[in-house]
């Protein structure tokens, strides 16, 4: 095609008529038409000017396609322009166009190679497809969304759940499916009419949608049945969501001048244990929902009875643990840390206990994991730190020689913002010298994001706090990092001490850790020492310190006070 719009009157006979015909055709066209050369527009028809909101003076010889297209699509447009100039015919493609006022709209572009004033150029058309896209969206909404509530329907729910299950299977994660049915909803329809019932369903849908994550899918199956699909959610977290949804529905809805309360019964199934496909999971969640109705409605049930029991026990444990923290039911016991060269108690390790008013003394292995999952570990850890510092200073003020107070630090607590400040606050409140506080962090804790954790450890070290690497040998320490960590002590994990007398491998591991510690100028302490033979072997290896039942169990502060006073483990040699 020869485009020469610069020629006007004076062209002989037919040429002038052709030019006038060309111009009339271009100006009557109801699509945008352009001639492009050197990446600038050399001609645009009136429809294209109107489409983008520019005058001919603003566009011709001043603007090019990159000025009219969304920036993230520029690389593709540059490629298309280069292909047209090289003579390659184009195919129709979609882009996001940008008007002069900044508004955007979808367009299709079709370009072809051409010649303008004797040089390579391209001609093309621009078609606004906003109406077409709106129609496609409307068709999709009718096909995939519930027309009453606007929530995804069964078809879209199935697509999304199948995608979530595929990801969960690949990543060995979980998916929770929650089936909600509104209790006695038929009464509202029968007494107030279906229009009020429909309005109430919309209000419920809106409130439930606001209470779940963006990655979750809340769908309406029809009637008063809803399904919530939650990728990456295990049983305990699903129970928390169910409790939250029950609470949201417990607040009254104001509909058509009526204040209405509607409660749901909820059934929960978990992939993969309760099913590996959407149909099985939905069926089992529905079964669990009917169990909830049988139990009196306005509650939730898991499909697996044993999961119900475990989850409810956890929820009860969490609730009681929150109360324990407020009502001073948590106590510290202390286990002696003994120097193997002299038998002197040179420190104690603070170990938390829960003095439950009904169940008696509860050991930490029953509640610490609940504290970590529920976020209670941070306030509990802060309490332990403050109480241990206070007790250590109280013993000094009572006339005992100063001993090191060792405190375990949970991984979540160690990584929380402000941990260093919390340690400084505990020391300042008690008056305890920082050198008498030893923080025990596990090998796995410090090796997780080691470069960041070195900063925290260094800040504590500069403060004067002693640092100990707990459970050493069970993680994946890099010796290069171990050299950089400002720790002063390694604690050999009790798993290597338990069979020390009979297992040559455990003896070799313990001896290697002792030798490595000595070469790195670190103190080495063995945990879980229970027999005289274990103690003898450790002393022969050159281990510096030990703790365990051979010396003493963890004891209340008053009993440890007596041990510190009489020092019963001193060697009489």
Cβ-proximal residues to 499 (8 Å cutoff; 6+ apart), any chain: 506
């338990």: which residue's tokens?
498
Structure tokens at 469: 């690497």
Cβ-proximal residues to 183 (8 Å cutoff; 6+ apart), any chain: 262, 263, 264, 265, 293, 297, 298
Rounded to whole angstroms, the Cα distance separating 264 from 245 reads: 8
140 burial (CB, 10 Å; 0-12 / 13-18 / 19+) is: exposed
Label residues 208-220 b or e (16+ Cβ within 10 Å = b). beebbeeebbbbb
Considering the chain, tell me which residue range(s) the CATH 3.30.450.20 domain(s) occupy: 2-133
Considering the chain, tell me which residue range(s) the CATH 3.20.20.450 domain(s) occupy: 328-566
CATH superfamily of 145-303: Reverse transcriptase/Diguanylate cyclase domain (3.30.70.270)
Label residues 459-476 b or e (16+ Cβ within 10 Å = b). bbbeeebbbbbbbbbebe
Q: Give me the CATH topology for the region 328-566.
A: TIM Barrel (3.20.20)
Beta pairing partners, 525: 491, 545
What is the DSSP secondary-structure string of 427-453?
Answer: HHHHT--GGGEEEEEEHHHHHTTHHHH
Rounded to whole angstroms, the Cα distance separating 570 from 343 reads: 4
Residue 381, number of CB atoms within 10 A of its CB: 23
Q: SS3 of 227, please?
A: strand
Q: Are 464 and 492 in contact (CB under 8 A)?
A: no
User: Domain spanning 2-133: which CATH class is it, in words?
Assistant: alpha beta
Considering the chain, tell me which residue range(s) the CATH 3.30.70.270 domain(s) occupy: 145-303
In this predicted structure, what is the pLDDT of residue 573?
47
- Would you give per-residue pLDDT tens digits along the chain (573 residues)? 444 443 332 233 344 666 677 777 788 788 999 999 999 999 999 999 999 999 999 999 999 999 999 999 999 999 999 998 888 888 899 999 999 999 999 999 999 998 888 899 999 999 999 988 887 777 776 677 888 998 999 889 999 999 999 999 998 999 999 999 999 888 888 888 889 999 999 999 999 999 999 999 999 998 899 999 999 998 889 999 999 999 998 899 998 888 888 899 999 999 999 999 999 999 999 989 988 988 888 999 999 766 666 666 777 888 899 899 899 999 999 999 999 999 999 999 999 999 988 888 999 988 988 888 778 899 999 999 999 999 999 999 999 999 999 999 988 888 888 899 999 999 999 999 999 999 998 877 777 667 778 888 899 999 999 999 887 766 555 566 677 788 899 999 898 999 999 999 999 999 999 998 888 889 999 999 999 999 999 999 999 999 999 999 999 999 999 999 999 999 854
* Edge-to-edge order in the sheet of strand 300-302: 217-222, 225-231, 175-182, 264-271, 300-302
Residue 567 to residues 31, 308, 342, 558, 563: CA-CA distances in angstroms? Answer: 97, 50, 11, 14, 6
Q: Are 212 and 218 in contact (CB under 8 A)?
A: yes
Residue 324, number of CB atoms within 10 A of its CB: 20
Three-state secondary structure along 108-155? Answer: EEEEEEEEECCEEEEEEEEEECHHHHHHHHHHHHHHHECCCCCCECHH
Rounded to whole angstroms, the Cα distance separating 42 from 496 reads: 82
Q: Are 257 and 192 in contact (CB under 8 A)?
A: no
In this predicted structure, what is the pLDDT of residue 33?
93
To the question of pTM greater than 0.85 for the whole model, the response is: no
């Amino acid at each position: 095609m020869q485009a020469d719009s610069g020629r006007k009157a004076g062209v002989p006979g037919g040429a002038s008529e052709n030019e006038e015909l060309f111009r009339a055709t271009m100006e009557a066209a109801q699509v945008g038409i352009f001639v492009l050369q050197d990446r600038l527009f050399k001609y645009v028809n009136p429809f294209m000017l109107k489409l983008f909101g520019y005058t001919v003076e603003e566009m011709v010889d001043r603007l090019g396609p990159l000025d009219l297209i969304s920036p993230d699509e520029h690389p593709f447009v540059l490629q298309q322009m280069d292909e047209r100039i090289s003579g390659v015919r184009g195919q129709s493609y979609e882009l996001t166009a940008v008007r002069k006022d900044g508004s955007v709209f979808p367009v299709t572009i079709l370009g072809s190679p051409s010649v303008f004033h004797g040089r390579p150029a391209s001609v093309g058309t621009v078609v606004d497809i906003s109406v077409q896209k709106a129609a496609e969206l409307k068709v999709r909404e009718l096909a995939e969304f519930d027309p009453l509530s606007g929530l995804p329907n069964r078809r879209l729910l199935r697509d999304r759940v199948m995608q979530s299950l595929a990801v969960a299977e690949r990543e060995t994660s979980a998916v929770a499916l929650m089936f909600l049915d509104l209790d006695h909803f038929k009464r509202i329809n029968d007494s107030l009419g279906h229009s009020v019932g429909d309005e109430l369903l919309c209000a419920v849908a809106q409130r439930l949608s606001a209470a779940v994550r963006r990655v979750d899918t809340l769908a309406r199956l029809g009637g008063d049945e809803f399904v919530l699909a939650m990728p990456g959610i295990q049983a305990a977290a699903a129970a928390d969501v169910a409790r939250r949804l029950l609470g949201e529905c417990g607040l009254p809805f104001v509909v058509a001048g009526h204040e209405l309360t509607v409660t749901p019964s909820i059934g929960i199934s978990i992939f993969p244990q309760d099913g590996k496909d959407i149909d099985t999971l939905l069926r089992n969640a529905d079964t669990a929902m009917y169990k909830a109705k049988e139990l009196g409605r306005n509650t939730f049930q898991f499909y697996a009875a044993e999961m119900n029991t475990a989850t409810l026990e956890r929820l009860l444990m969490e609730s009681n643990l929150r109360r324990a923290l407020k009502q001073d039911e948590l106590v510290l016991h202390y286990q002696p840390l003994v120097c193997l060269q002299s038998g002197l108690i040179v420190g104690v390790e603070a170990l938390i206990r829960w003095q439950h008013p009904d169940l008696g003394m509860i050991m930490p292995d029953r509640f610490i994991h609940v504290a970590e999952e529920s976020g209670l570990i941070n306030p509990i850890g802060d309490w332990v730190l403050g109480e241990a510092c206070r007790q250590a200073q109280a013993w000094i003020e009572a006339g005992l020689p100063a001993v090191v107070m060792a405190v375990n630090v949970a991984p979540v607590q160690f990584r929380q913002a402000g941990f260093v400040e919390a340690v400084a606050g505990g020391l300042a409140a008690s008056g305890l010298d920082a050198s008498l506080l030893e923080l025990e962090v596990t090998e796995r804790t410090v090796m997780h994001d080691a470069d960041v954790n070195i900063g925290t450890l260094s800040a504590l070290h500069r403060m004067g706090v002693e640092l100990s690497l707990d459970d050493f040998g069970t993680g994946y320490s890099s010796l290069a990092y171990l050299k950089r960590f400002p720790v002063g002590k390694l604690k050999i994990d009790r798993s290597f001490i338990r069979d020390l007398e009979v297992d040559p491998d455990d003896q070799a591991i313990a001896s290697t850790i002792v030798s490595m510690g000595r070469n790195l100028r670190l103190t080495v302490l063995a945990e879980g020492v229970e027999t005289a033979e274990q103690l003898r072997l450790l002393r022969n290896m050159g281990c510096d310190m030990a703790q365990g039942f051979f010396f003493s169990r963890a004891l209340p502060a008053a009993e440890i006070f007596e041990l510190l006073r009489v020092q019963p483990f001193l060697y009489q040699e």
